[in-house]
A and B are shown apart, each in its own frame.
Chain A
Amino acid sequence: MTPTRIEFHVLVALVEGPRHGYGVMQDVDELTAGELRLGPGTLYSAIKRLQRAGLIEECEADAERRRCYRLTRKGKTAATDEARRLAVLLREARKRGLLPSAS
């Protein structure tokens, strides 16, 4: 499964460890500097699809008994693959002058 933009953001938010829903929303907000604001509906719709695809799984609730999610091994591979794909695309965009050179 190739994750969509929102699903990829959720996967990236979970790379550093398990998080509850609101934690994922906050992390995505920070990662995108407020450009992508997930509401509960969009977030849990993406979580449902990622769970079904076996890319994330539910883990033990936190101290406030909120439901948490973490990446599975398959999820980490999918996130890495997508990141690589985007890196290649980014490099190509730089080469073609769409973005300023990284150096």
Chain B
Amino acid sequence: MTADRVYAALLRLYPAEFRREYSGPMLEAFRELHRKANDRPARFWALVLQDLVRSALRERLEVWSSRQDGFALEWALACTAGAVITGALGSALTWLFAYFYHPYLEGAAFQAGLYGALVGIGLGGAQAVVLRRRVRLGTAWVLASAASAAAGFETATTLAGTASPLTFGLILGGFVGMGQWLILRRRMLRAAWWIAASAVALPIGVLSCGLAMHGALRGMNPLADDLLAAASPDGPARLNGYLVDAVDLLLRGLNRPGSLQELTVGLAVMAVCGMVVGLVTAKPLSSMLSRPR
């Protein structure tokens, strides 16, 4: 009886769908095996546990890959496209502002919050395209993304600015995560994890941008040095320099691009950041989508 209970508890290692279908017959087969193997308990349990761990892992992997493959790729592409569209729109707006500039506009500036709202609309809009096939979010997702990104950009720029890039990412990610959580919590269980996922994803995105830009662009095109500030001496200071540059480039949407090269680098930074954020957040979001309210 005790062995049955132990095995029944261990069956929880299998995915729920597999358990629903096969836990009954598996327990029956286990009972028969156990009845015939009483003289060699150690060997019996070794066989059963090895079999259980191996097959449970296989079933879990199968479920995970069938859920992840399509969604993770779609989500990462949506985040990349959303970030690039935002960068392009930001640059277009600042170019138009400069083109139609009139002395009457003296002192007017493109505020961080406005740029944040643009990021929220671009990124949230692209994400909504992928999400709407799985859950009904409506325009609330885009609006919440825009409002929270606006507040996040304002707060992160004020409190951290470019001097503290990881804090900048953490604040922005936390704000956006909270805004989107307000929408997710009504439709799925354990939605609060989204705040943590978002707050972690943004600093990783910023980190990736800094490293990718310095590593790739400097190697490919020496002129990129104009855009990327000179690297700090070495060690942690150099890394911080990379991160500062990444945030600086992310915020370039606030400025009119001075050249086609500057525009290209800005869009590439947005693309890298969007893709990393998408890849980091795909798994937690996929788990939440599998637990609808």
Instruction: State whether B58 touches A45 (Cβ < 8 A).
Output: yes
Listed stretches B46-54, B150-158, B207-215, B278-286; interface member: B46-54
Which residues of B10-69 have CB atoms within 8 Å of chain A's CB atoms? 14, 18, 21-22, 24-30, 32-33, 47-48, 50-52, 54-56, 58-59
- How far is the CB of B146 from the nearest CB of chain A, in Å? 44
Which B residue's beta carbon lies closest to that of A41? B55
**CB distance B26 to A40 under 8 Å?**
yes
Question: Which of B26, B56, B58 sits near A21, CB closer than 8 Å?
Answer: B26
Given contacts A40-B51, A43-B29, A47-B22, 14 further A-B contacts (CB under 8 A): A20-B25, A21-B25, A21-B26, A37-B47, A39-B50, A39-B52, A40-B30, A40-B48, A41-B54, A42-B51, A44-B26, A44-B55, A48-B18, A66-B25
A29 → chain B closest CB, angstroms:
10
Cβ contacts A to B, 6 pairs, < 8 Å? A20-B29, A21-B26, A40-B48, A41-B26, A42-B55, A44-B55
Question: Given that A39-B50, A42-B54, A67-B24 are known contacts, is A25 also in contact with B59, CB under 8 Å in the complex?
Answer: no
Q: B27: nearest residue on chain A (CB-CB)?
A: A40
Query: Interface size for chain B: under 10, 10 to 19, 20 to 34, or 35 or more residues?
Result: 20 to 34
| Nearest CB of chain B from residue A75's CB, rounded to whole Å | 18
- Are A67 and B47 closer than 8 Å at their CB atoms? no
Interface centre among A20, A37, A38, A41 (most CB of B within 10 A): A41
Contact A39:B51 (CB < 8 A) given known A22-B33, A45-B58: yes
Contact A25 B22 (CB under 8 A): no
Q: Is the interface of A mostly helix, strand, loop or mixed?
A: helix
Q: Which residues of chain A from 18 to 56 have a CB within 8 Å of any chain B CB?
A: 20-22, 25, 37-45, 47-48
Q: How many A-B contacts if CB must be within 8 Å?
A: 61
**A48-B29 contact in complex given A39-B47, A39-B55, A41-B56, C-beta closer than 8 Å:** no
- Which residues on the A side are within 8 Å of B51 (C-beta)? 38-42
Give the residues in chain A near B18, CB-CB below 8 Å: 44-45, 48
Of all chain A residues, the one with the shortest Cβ separation from B17 is: A48
Q: Report A-chain residues with C-beta under 8 Å of the C-beta of B54.
A: 41-42
Q: Tell me the complex Cα distance, A45–B21, Å.
A: 11
CA distance A45 to B33 in the complex (A): 17
With the chains together, A47 CA to B55 CA distance in Å? Answer: 12
Expressed in whole angstroms, the minimum distance between the Cβ of B130 and any Cβ of chain A is 27
Distance in angstroms from B34 CB to nearest chain A CB is: 10
**Distance between B152 CB and nearest chain A CB, rounded to angstroms:** 46
A9 to B28, CA, bound (A): 20
Which A residues touch B26, using CB under 8 A? 21, 40-41, 44
Let me know if B32 and A22 touch, CB within 8 A: yes
Q: Are B24 and A41 in contact (CB under 8 A)?
A: no
- Interchain CA distance A69-B262 in the complex, whole Å: 66
In the bound complex, residues from chain B placing their C-beta under 8 Å from that of A66 are 25, 28
